Amino acid sequence: MAVTRTPLIAGNWKLNLDHLQAIAFVQKLAWSLGDAKHDFAAAEVAVFPPFTDLRSVQTLVSSDKLPIAFGAQDLSEHDSGAYTGEISGAFLAKLECSYVIIGHSERRTLHNETDEVVGAKVQAALRHNLVPIICVGETADDLEKHGPSAVPVAQLRAALAGVTGAADVVVAYEPVWAIGSGQAATPEQAEQVAAALRTVLVETLGEDVAAKTRILYGGSVKAANIAGFMREPNVDGALVGGASLDLDEFASIVRFPQHVGL
């Protein structure tokens, strides 16, 4: 029997929106999707605000019982201790975060996060029952030198080293050259890498977990191109940057089942 994976549309806000703006945005997003009768079982929605917004978003989501998930953009590999400026997975779990983004290319390049650190952070997330959204992706240079799948596959293997059993993870394939460039991968390119990543999931986590694990595409996703990605068999959603800050655009991406004809 074919496994069905609930698509996930995730908005990575990066360093945008303070906690008051976050409250207004999430409230309006919920209204907009409610008005449009969005079926949250057909496409799950999650937002990833800055750390300082999370308590406000949690309070709003829980008091108004909004069907919107949320998570953090990073976490510490450590649970507690003398690590000034770090945020523990334990704190994120207390804030009812469902997810945490790990190994985004901006953290890998701007904060020197190595594959080892990414792996340690994945384990920290799993210790606290947070679902890690493990980001992998190649630069334009990697693409030219090694082809499309080699670097993302190696990054995913490293991120999952030490993870065993029925781990609940999400993988996000984000080609670095497509992030913020306005030049998205083609659906065929995304599918080719997503299929290779699913093979890694089969090898590391087993067939059953691999069949259930969602693989997202990220990099210049917009309402105008989401349909093509969602038609691909191994692409189960999107990690959206810039377009997740535009309410109408993001709501339209979330509502892709209505314009994809799936």
Instruction: Give residues in contact with ligand 13P (CB under 6 A).
Output: 12, 104, 174, 179-180, 218-221, 239-243
Of the candidates 77, 106, 113, 174, the residue annotated as catalytic is 174
Q: Which residue positions form the known binding site for substrate?
A: 12-14, 180, 220, 241-242
Instruction: Identify whether 19 is a catalytic site residue.
Output: no
Q: Which residue positions form the known binding site?
A: 12-14, 180, 220, 241-242
CB of 97 to ligand 13P, least distance (A): 16
Rg (CA), the chain: 17
Of the candidates 104, 106, 191, 232, the residue annotated as catalytic is 104
CB of 180 to ligand 13P, least distance (A): 4
The count of residues in the chain is 262
- Nearer to ligand 13P by Cβ, of 12 and 204: the residue is 12
CB of 132 to ligand 13P, least distance (A): 14
User: 189-217 in b/e burial notation, b at 16+ Cβ within 10 A?
Assistant: bbbbbbebbbebbeebbeeebbebbbbbb
* Cβ atoms of 71 and 133 closer than 8 Å: yes
- What residues have CB less than 8 Å from 174, skipping those under 6 apart? 104, 105, 135, 136, 137, 217, 218, 219, 239
Instruction: Identify whether 104 is a catalytic site residue.
Output: yes
CB of 253 to ligand 13P, least distance (A): 10
- Integer Cα distance of 198 and 210 in angstroms: 6
- Nearer to ligand 13P by Cβ, of 92 and 243: the residue is 243
Q: From residue 171, give the alpha-carbon distance in Å to each of 10, 38, 103, 239, 244.
A: 12, 24, 10, 10, 18
- Nearer to ligand 13P by Cβ, of 218 and 228: the residue is 218
* Cβ atoms of 10 and 48 closer than 8 Å: yes
DSSP label at 45? E
Catalytic positions: 104, 174
